């Protein structure tokens, strides 16, 4: 066997792979803590800065999504040729400092700009982590690995809501604080500062991960710093346009539903049911933590199982089932009045929303050559960010304000927008089955050369 083949196909040690997976999952969890803590601070920020629901939705969505989407693709190209652990560490430091910077904002535009910085830093994690995991785990175990990694999103969202709600109550009880060189900060501002700083430790842990050799690329060892020409990248997306287009649209619609729910469910409980931040955060966070974690791991494992059973479209079939769960739960829970009914419907919606990440995320790696994975993942994150983070919270706010016309109607808006988005996503996965099979065969033939 040639030296370059031995370098490229060398199997990473299981201990290294699992260590890296654990650290990456923690990083992903942290990213969701910093991303979603704002949803619990909606009411005090609205009161302090005199903002409308539409302005708040732009803080939760558009401000974050702008640079998260714009930076993702160039970062993806860097991921395909650079040291991925360093890229992730720099991203974590950036978004953590910008989260803390949200805490010293005193005007709407300052908070908006700080949130764009959070999005810019977080844009590095997804493409680099997907690429790393594709090299650390064999193809038949990638669904499981991506499911465990993606569980960081549900863990982070759950922690953000549970601990965040308790912390907000505790910080609010202490009142405003005066910090040296900064001045007086309100409780919601202090929350941002305290949440942002732990990321610096996680960034240091990421640098302990050894950079693995890249799999499945016969020339990777001899051109480790060479970037695939842009025309070749474009040609790949052109040849697999039907598969990628339908897959990404489905993932984007699912993200739109999930972010709409996570952004406004706490406000719904506070406005409609008169819950406090701690109670709302505890209920929603617990549901996300349990149902989301189970869902994302189940999606990866179930998709892998269907694939091993000879079902070529197994990952997409699992994704369709996830969307049915999501639609049923999303349409049910906002219209209920009792806490158990709300929790049951919310858990079903979150199970479906996170289940799709484990199975459909792995499907992308199945049709993507190794040295395109960073860019391919960046394009996926671009679409899910525009539809999910950019439009999800705003669509719910627009239906609340423009269709119903009063703040307490956020519950009806949450039943309509996410429910329809989940159903449309399921139809897209159904339509993607045939082109996905063709793309898998073409990718396998290319890698066998």
According to the 3-state scheme, what is the secondary structure of 321-362? Answer: HHHHHHHHHHHHHHHCCCHHHHHHHHHHHHHHHHHHHHHHHH
Task: Kindly provide the residue ranges of all beta strands, DSSP E only, lying in 181-237, ordered along the sequence.
Answer: 183-185
Q: DSSP label at 388?
A: I
- Which residues make Cβ contacts (< 8 Å) with residue 236, sequence separation at least 6? 368, 369, 372, 376
User: What pLDDT digit, counting tens, does each position of 235-257 carry?
Assistant: 878 888 899 999 999 999 999 99
Span 14-37, average pLDDT:
88
Residue bearing the bigger pLDDT, 359 or 353: 353
Whether residue 13 is predicted with pLDDT greater than 70 in this model: the reply is yes
In total, the chain counts a number of residues equal to 449
> Which residue carries 């899910």 as its tokens?
384
Greatest Cα pair distance, the chain, in angstroms, is 70
CA dihedral sign, ordered 333, 397, 44, 254: positive
CA atoms within 13 Å, Cβ hemisphere of 425: 35
Q: What is the pLDDT of residue 221?
A: 43
Most trustworthy range by pLDDT among 137-141, 163-167, 313-317: 313-317
Q: What is the pLDDT of residue 448?
A: 57
Other CB atoms within 10 Å distance of the CB of residue 81: 16
Whether residue 364 is predicted with pLDDT greater than 90 in this model: the reply is no
Span 178-186, average pLDDT:
76
Q: Please tell me the least confidently modeled range out of 58-62, 106-110, 142-146, 187-191.
A: 142-146
Span 117-125, average pLDDT:
92
Q: What is the pLDDT of residue 181?
A: 74
Q: Quick one: which of 68, 29, 38, 103 has its CA closest to 262?
A: 38
Q: Please tell me the least confidently modeled range out of 6-20, 147-161, 382-396, 417-431.
A: 6-20
Element (H, E) at 177: strand 177-179
Residues 410, 267: contact at Cβ < 8 Å? Answer: yes
Backbone angles phi, psi at 317, to 5 degrees: -65, -40
Q: What is the pLDDT of residue 332?
A: 96
Residues 349, 330: contact at Cβ < 8 Å? Answer: yes
Residues 269, 280: contact at Cβ < 8 Å? Answer: yes
Q: How far is the C-alpha of 140 from the C-alpha of 13, rounded, in Å?
A: 16
Span 411-428, average pLDDT:
96
Q: What is the pLDDT of residue 251?
A: 95
Residues 205, 93: contact at Cβ < 8 Å? Answer: no
Instruction: Report all structural domains of the chain as residue ranges with CATH numbers, in order of start.
Output: 9-214+227-447 (1.20.1250.20)
* Residue environment code for 148-177, b if the CB has 16+ CB neighbours within 10 A, otherwise e: bbbbbbbbbbbbbbbbbbebbeebbeeeee
Most trustworthy range by pLDDT among 23-32, 150-159, 163-172, 185-194: 23-32
Q: Strand pairing partners for 177?
A: 185
Q: What is the pLDDT of residue 355?
A: 93
* Residue environment code for 235-244, b if the CB has 16+ CB neighbours within 10 A, otherwise e: ebeeebeebb
Q: How far is the C-alpha of 203 from the C-alpha of 121, rounded, in Å?
A: 12
Q: What is the pLDDT of residue 228?
A: 66
Confidence of residue 90 (pLDDT cuts 50, 70, 90): very high
Whether residue 408 is predicted with pLDDT greater than 90 in this model: the reply is no
Q: How far is the C-alpha of 71 from the C-alpha of 379, rounded, in Å?
A: 10
Q: What is the pLDDT of residue 151?
A: 78
Q: What is the pLDDT of residue 4?
A: 42
Residues 54, 394: contact at Cβ < 8 Å? Answer: yes
Q: What is the pLDDT of residue 53?
A: 81
User: What pLDDT digit, counting tens, does each position of 51-63 carry?
Assistant: 888 888 888 888 8
Q: What is the pLDDT of residue 137?
A: 83
Residue bearing the bigger pLDDT, 364 or 223: 364
Whether residue 413 is predicted with pLDDT greater than 90 in this model: the reply is yes
Backbone angles phi, psi at 337, to 5 degrees: -110, -25
Burial of 120 by CB count in 10 Å (0-12 exposed, 13-18 middle, 19+ buried)? buried
Span 340-362, average pLDDT:
92
Confidence of residue 407 (pLDDT cuts 50, 70, 90): confident
Q: What is the pLDDT of residue 446?
A: 64
Whether residue 167 is predicted with pLDDT greater than 80 in this model: the reply is no
Span 71-76, average pLDDT:
83
Residue bearing the bigger pLDDT, 148 or 422: 422
Whether residue 217 is predicted with pLDDT greater than 70 in this model: the reply is no
Query: Using H for helix, E for strand and C for coil, what is the string for 111-177?
Result: HHHHHHHHHHHHCCHHHHHHHHHHHHCCHHHHHHHHHHHHHHHHHHHHHHHHHHHHHHHHHHHHCCE
Whether residue 370 is predicted with pLDDT greater than 80 in this model: the reply is no
Written as six digits, the tokens of 397 are: 């706010």
Strands 177-179 and 183-185, bridge-based pairing: antiparallel
Q: How far is the C-alpha of 172 from the C-alpha of 201, rounded, in Å?
A: 26
SS3 state at 212: coil
- Express as a percent the part of the chain with pLDDT over 70: 92
Span 74-90, average pLDDT:
89
Burial of 26 by CB count in 10 Å (0-12 exposed, 13-18 middle, 19+ buried)? middle
Confidence of residue 216 (pLDDT cuts 50, 70, 90): low
Backbone angles phi, psi at 185, to 5 degrees: -120, 135
Whether residue 8 is predicted with pLDDT greater than 50 in this model: the reply is no
Average pLDDT, the chain: 85
Span 422-433, average pLDDT:
96
Residue bearing the bigger pLDDT, 120 or 444: 120
Q: Quick one: which of 64, 84, 66 has its CA closest to 75?
A: 84
- Express as a percent the part of the chain with pLDDT over 90: 37
Whether residue 6 is predicted with pLDDT greater than 70 in this model: the reply is no
Q: What is the pLDDT of residue 329?
A: 97
Q: What is the pLDDT of residue 63?
A: 85
């Amino acid at each position: 066997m040639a030296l370059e083949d031995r370098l490229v196909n060398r199997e990473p040690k299981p201990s290294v792979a699992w260590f890296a997976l654990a650290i990456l999952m923690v990083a992903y969890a942290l990213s969701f803590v910093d991303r979603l803590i704002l949803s619990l601070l909606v009411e005090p920020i609205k009161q302090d800065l005199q903002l409308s629901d539409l302005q708040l939705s732009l803080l939760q969505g558009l401000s974050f999504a702008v640079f998260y989407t714009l930076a993702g693709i160039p970062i993806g190209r860097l991921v395909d040729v650079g040291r991925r652990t360093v890229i992730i560490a720099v991203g974590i430091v950036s978004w953590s400092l910008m989260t803390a910077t949200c805490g010293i904002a005193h005007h709407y535009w300052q908070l908006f700009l700080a949130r764009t910085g959070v999005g810019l830093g977080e844009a590095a994690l997804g493409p680099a982590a997907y690429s790393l995991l594709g090299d650390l785990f064999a193809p038949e175990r990638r669904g499981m690995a991506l499911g465990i990694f993606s569980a960081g999103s549900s863990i982070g969202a759950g922690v953000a809501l549970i601990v965040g709600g308790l912390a907000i109550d505790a910080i609010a009880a202490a009142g405003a604080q005066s910090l040296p060189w900064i001045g007086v900060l309100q409780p919601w501002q202090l929350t941002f500062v305290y949440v942002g700083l732990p990321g610096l430790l996680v960034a240091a842990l990421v640098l302990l991960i050894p950079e693995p050799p890249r799999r499945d690329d016969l020339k990777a060892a001899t051109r480790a710093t060479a970037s695939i020409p842009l025309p070749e990248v474009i040609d790949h997306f052109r040849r697999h346009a039907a598969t990628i287009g339908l897959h990404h649209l489905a993932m984007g619609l699912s993200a739109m539903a999930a972010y709409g729910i996570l952004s406004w469910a706490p406000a719904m409980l506070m406005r409609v049911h008169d819950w406090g931040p701690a109670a709302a955060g505890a209920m929603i966070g617990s549901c996300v933590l349990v149902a989301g974690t189970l869902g994302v791991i189940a999606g990866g494992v179930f998709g892998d199982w269907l694939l091993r059973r000879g079902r070529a479209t197994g990952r997409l079939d699992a994704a369709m089932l996830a969307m049915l769960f999501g639609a049923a739960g999303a349409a049910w829970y906002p219209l209920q009045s009792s806490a158990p009914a709300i929790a049951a419907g919310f858990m079903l919606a979150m199970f479906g929303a996170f289940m799709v990440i484990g199975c459909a995320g792995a499907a992308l790696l199945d049709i993507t050559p190794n040295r395109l994975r960073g860019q391919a993942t960046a394009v996926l994150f671009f679409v899910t960010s525009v539809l999910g983070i950019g439009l999800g919270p705003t669509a719910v706010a627009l239906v609340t304000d423009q269709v119903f016309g009063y703040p307490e109607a956020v519950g009806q808006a949450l039943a309509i927008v996410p429910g329809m988005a989940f159903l449309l996503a399921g139809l897209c996965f159904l339509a993607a089955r045939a082109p996905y099979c063709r793309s898998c065969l073409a990718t396998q033939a290319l890698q066998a050369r």
